[in-house]
Amino acid sequence: MAETGASPLPPTPPARSPLFRAESFVWLTARVLEQRLFAYEFLHGGADPVEAALDAYRNEDGGYGHALEPDLRGPVSQPLHTAHALRVLDRVGRLGGQRVERVCRYLTAVSTADGALPAIDPGQRGYPAAPFVPIVDDPPSDLLATGPVVGLLHRNDVWHAWLFRATDFCWQAVDCLERSHPYEIEAAVAFLDSTPDRPRAEAAADRLGRLVRGQRLAALDPDHLDAFPVAPGYAPGEHHFPHDFARTPRSLARTWFTDDEMARSLDLLASEQQEDGGWPVRWRHWAPAPTLEARPMVTIEALRTLRAHGRPIG
């Protein structure tokens, strides 16, 4: 008989459900951070263990490093690592307080002359990095790095001096987009979904949706992928689908796609779960460790996307 007052065990997902299979995969392969994030997202785990695991990646300058974003190895803080950390804090409801003050000081220190973030700081030189992330001495501002960070801070009602110029940069970058590629569009959506100026965001998203469809950046028919070109520099077969742009039904990008297009996209996502319970990494594989570490992250994101759109996961 169970002891009186004992805490109830978290419910076990139904055997062979997508969640059950993914749970086995996560315990087998994931870093501590992703194990704890999975437990928080799907098994009623707490936020404190997630924060504790994330702190291992934090540096004294307020940024994050240590391969938090697996494609950048080594200890140095980078904007992409720090954006990843902010996403984790947002998911567990801890994006605020002194921690964010320290992060914003780091963002200020590494920003370019126009107040925005480069994709990669030159301090990465000397440490392994993915070949598709070039390291240059004087990197330019990058919407791909800046948009998600600005969006997350606005989403959590953070106000800091860094945000003003960075927000202006994002608006200018979005307004000037005439040709693009999927990851840049996803960064723009991350900004537009949370920026306070909603009428302007909706108008910008409407224009970007026409750009995405006109340039065939989203593969709308998984059965005829040859009709949708892969962006230059991407891995062979690295298509992006409606669910990659509209990860929740509330995203402005959801209006870009018909119900049938979204349903086919989610059907494809559900079908991509592999025999070991994890989802595949679609971008270029350049070393074993980054791919191994990224797969649990991709798996958690796939489950979140399916659940957000009302698909059963177990």
Mind listing the pLDDT tens digit for each residue in 161-212? 999 999 999 999 999 999 999 999 999 999 999 999 999 999 999 999 999 9
The pLDDT value given to residue 12: 65
**Structure confidence at residue 10 as a pLDDT band (50, 70, 90):** low
Residues 258-268 have pLDDT tens digits of: 999 999 999 99
Report whether pLDDT(42) > 60.
yes
The one-letter code for the residue type at 237 is G
Taking the C-alpha atoms of residue 158 and residue 147, their distance in angstroms, rounded to an integer, is: 15
Residue 16 confidence (pLDDT)? 86
Residues 6+ apart with CB under 8 A from 70: 289, 290, 291, 293, 294, 297
Across the chain, what does the average pLDDT equal?
A: 95
Does residue 41 have a pLDDT over 80? yes
Q: Average pLDDT in the 128-141 region?
A: 95
SS3 state at 16: coil
Residue 3: what pLDDT?
A: 45
Contact 65, 77 (CB under 8 A): yes
What is the pLDDT averaged over residues 273-290? 97
pLDDT score for 246: 98
Give pLDDT, residue 15. Answer: 67
Residue 2 has pLDDT above 50, yes or no: no
pLDDT-derived band at 9, boundaries 50, 70, 90 = low
Q: What digits encode the pLDDT tens for the residues 27-39?
A: 999 999 999 999 9
pLDDT, residue 13, reads: 67
Strand-pair partners of 118: 141
Percent of the chain with pLDDT over 70: 95
Q: How far is CA 236 from each of CA 150, 231, 285, 299, rounded to the nearest angstrom?
A: 31, 9, 11, 21
Cα distances (Å, whole numbers) of residue 152 to 77, 130, 206, 261: 19, 25, 21, 28
The continuous run of DSSP H or E covering 55 comes out as: helix 47-55
pLDDT tens-digit series, residues 46-102: 999 999 999 999 999 999 999 999 999 999 999 999 999 999 999 999 999 999 999
pLDDT at residue 259, as a whole number:
98
